[in-house]
Each structure stands twice: as C-alpha cells, then as structure tokens.
C-alpha cells in the first residue's frame, strides 16, 4: 500500500466518479479527492451530467473519461433490485475503461453480499468497504429529529453496535481509489468500541448538554411509526443488523487499510455538538 496518494492508474482516464457524491460518505470522498487534486464527477440525479441508477441511459456520460468509481447505492444494498443494478453498472463501467471500483457495502447484510459478488465479477479491480450504522446518522439522517426531540424510540432492546464514523469510511475509500495495495480487499469497518443505545443516549446527553433518552419499542410499534410517516417498511428490517447481534464485535478494517485506530463516538459527538446542529429549535 502506498501512503503518498500517488495515482498508479495507467488507463488514461483520470476522473473519479463518486456515485452519491452529495451523501454522507460520498460528499467526504469527493472533498478528499479534490483536495488531492483529482478530477471528480458527482454521480447523482442533479449532477452534470446526471446519474440515475434506474436509467442506464445516463451511465454513458457519467463514466466517460472515468478511471475509478466509488459506488454507493440508495437507499440500501439490502433493498430489492440493488444487486442487479450494481452488477449491470459495474459491468458497464468496466467495459468502458473504468479500472477501479470501490463499493460501499453493508456489514452483516446478506443482501449486500450479492452486490459484492456482482462487483467482483465485473472485470475491474475492486475493493469492498463494509460498514453498518454511522455516527453521522444522529446528525445528518433519520436519527437527527429524534435527537432534537430528546427521545430515541427504536426496536433494538439492549443490543450493542460498533458505530463507525463516515470520516473513517471516506479515508478508507479514498485510499482504495488512489493507492496501490487495496485491490481485492474486503475492509469490514467498525468503531473502537461496542455501544448500546443506552450508551449512545448518555454520550449524546453529555455532549449536547441536555437529556436524550433511549426508549426501547417493539418492531410492530416501530413499523406503525414508519407507516404514519410514509417511510418504507424495509427500514424496520435494517434494525435486525443490531438487534440480532450479528455485528456485535469489533473489526480491524480501519487499521488494516489506514494503519491507525478508528474514530470514537464520543469524539464525534463533541465535534458535532460544536457545530450547533443539535441546538436547532432549542431554547
């Protein structure tokens, strides 16, 4: 593995396509690549040119001149049709000169394994980055409103999770996109410790300076909330990744890829609290 960020690709295609380049990890990947002086193309519906997973007609312009791609699939690789879409795009990209593909996959998600297999068989160098629940879900995603409201009502009981920071995910992805030594690797990422949602609520409360409670609910109760808010019922299944304990262990992916320890949840909370994102609507 090189450590100076030197681009070793010799394809003549020097642009990196970042699919989901405005999302939680894609935005950070794009920022890091830009800071390294790498040309970046954002793959999104609003991109120029646009990239739409459901419209292969948009793929040609998106991959033109691209030598590497960071592949993320929304809403989740566990959803129906994800593996087929990832496979079709990966083969298309490899056939048009994209020589390096880095997939953001789900840790412990059996459905995501099909997408990984499709990517591996596409004909390009590949790296898989597996992650599950992000620290940033509490500040940039579906946990933000509950944190602002002071209550996390979730169907996970006393289960624990090794939450991972999107900053770590982006660092690993950029290393895989720009350095030698990562082809054919599966990096399973975790944070440095296991946390229950009781722990999470306590750390959030201390960092924010007001109480955030964790309230265990049943899956049925949670599904009712999803229905009330018009959200897909599939989201309830994602909590099985926590409640059944499949990811209740630490991994060494960050250390193997980057040679350092992963960021801790408490550090994320302190850093994020200083931005004021959790102060909205307070006082």
- Would you say 124 and 155 are in contact if contact means Cβ atoms under 8 Å apart? no
Q: What is the pTM of this model?
A: 0.91
CA dist., res. 190 & res. 192, Å (int): 7
Domain ranges of the chain: 15-194+244-270
- Tokens 């990811």 belong to which residue? 247
Print pLDDT tens along the chain (283 aa). Answer: 333 344 434 445 799 999 999 999 999 999 999 999 999 999 999 999 999 999 999 999 999 999 999 999 988 898 889 999 999 999 999 999 999 999 999 999 888 999 999 999 999 999 999 998 999 999 998 899 999 999 999 999 999 999 999 999 999 999 999 999 999 999 999 999 999 999 999 999 999 999 999 999 998 998 998 888 887 777 787 788 899 999 999 999 999 999 999 999 999 999 999 999 999 655 4
pLDDT tens track for 114-145: 999 999 999 999 999 999 899 999 999 889 99
CATH code given to domain 15-194+244-270: 3.40.50.720
CA angle, 9 then 119 then 244, to 5°? 125
Picking from 75, 24, 72, the residue whose alpha carbon sits closest to that of residue 226 is 75
Structure tokens at 280: 């909205």
Picking from 130, 150, 162, the residue whose alpha carbon sits closest to that of residue 247 is 162
Reading phi first (left if > 0) and then psi (alpha if -120 to 50, else beta), residue 260 is in beta
SS3 134: strand
pLDDT tens track for 24-54: 999 999 999 999 999 999 999 999 999 999 9
CA dist., res. 186 & res. 125, Å (int): 12
């Amino acid at each position: 593995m090189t450590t100076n960020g030197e681009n070793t690709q010799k394809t003549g295609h020097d642009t990196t396509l970042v699919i989901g380049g405005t999302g939680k990890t894609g935005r950070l990947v794009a920022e890091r690549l830009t800071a390294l002086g790498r040309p970046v193309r954002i793959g999104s519906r609003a991109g120029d040119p646009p990239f739409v997973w459901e419209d292969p007609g948009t793929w040609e312009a998106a991959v033109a001149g691209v030598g590497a791609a960071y592949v993320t699939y929304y809403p989740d690789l566990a959803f129906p049709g994800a593996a087929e879409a990832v496979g079709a795009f990966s083969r298309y990209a490899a056939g048009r000169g994209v020589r390096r593909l880095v997939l953001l996959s789900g840790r412990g998600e059996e459905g995501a394994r099909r997408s990984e297999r499709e990517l591996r068989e596409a004909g390009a160098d590949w790296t898989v980055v597996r992650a599950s629940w992000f620290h940033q879900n509490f500040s940039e995603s579906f946990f933000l409103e509950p944190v602002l409201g002071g209550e996390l009502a979730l169907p996970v009981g006393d289960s624990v999770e090794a939450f991972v920071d999107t900053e770590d995910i982006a660092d690993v992805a950029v290393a895989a996109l720009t350095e030698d030594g990562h082809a054919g690797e599966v990096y399973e990422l975790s944070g440095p410790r296991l946390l229950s949602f009781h722990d999470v609520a306590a750390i959030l409360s201390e960092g924010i300076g007001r109480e955030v409670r964790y309230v265990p609910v049943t899956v049925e109760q949670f599904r009712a909330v999803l229905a009330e808010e018009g959200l897909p019922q599939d989201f309830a299944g994602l909590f099985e990744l926590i409640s059944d304990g499949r990811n209740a262990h630490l991994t060494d992916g960050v250390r193997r890829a980057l040679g350092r320890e992963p960021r801790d949840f408490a550090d994320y909370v302190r850093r994020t609290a200083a931005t004021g994102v959790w102060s909205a609507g307070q006082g």
